[in-house]
Structure 1
Amino acid sequence: MATPSGRGRFTVARYTADGLVLLLGQKEAWTPLPWRALEEVPELLRGRGWVLIGSVYSVDAKVGSLDEHLKRFLKRATAGWVAALLEEAGVLSIDRSPPSRVKLQAGW
């Protein structure tokens, strides 16, 4: 799959009862995420309109962003990758114009 910017690619390598594993970037960095990290995204977005993806390559994150939420589970820049995955699953929509943002799709 491609990131929202289209510059990066990733693979869903595995999913289990505990979570899923993404392989990120050219080096296919093994990136495990617990289901809870994904399951909490609809609540994060509910009633907020567009929310900044905000993925930064730092242990810090922009307050209120999808990146801030995901860094509670893994101190790695995963927000763009997760946004693309959840868009494919029909959970959210992505506005790819800079700065990239997400919003919850109707029915969630």
Structure 2
Amino acid sequence: MMNLPERDGDGYLTDMGEWTEEVGRAMAQADNFELDDVKWAQILKAREYYEEFGSVPPIRKFAKYLEEEQNAVFKLWMTGPMKPITKYGGLPKPTGCV
């Protein structure tokens, strides 16, 4: 198990710059969170969105960005999807409803 960079109380990286794909996967592993290829692809899309727009998208916008149905995204993650997506993607915590 690799040494993880520092995380806050919610499990988010305290320094976004320390994120790598390896770190993201190791964080999920440490949290016993199952990441399959579809989830991982969405995490990478969220990073792409963040780089393009400088913010974390609300789920409605993100589902559109993925060209997916919003409820399909919810079903995949079994929870508010933006939280694990941003956490394991090394992105800032989403604000507002998650």
Q: TM-score, normalised by structure 1?
A: 0.38
The structure whose RCO (Cα within 8 Å, separation 6+) is larger is 2
TM-score between the two structures when normalised by the length of structure 2? 0.40
Whose strand fraction is larger, Structure 1's or Structure 2's?
Answer: 1
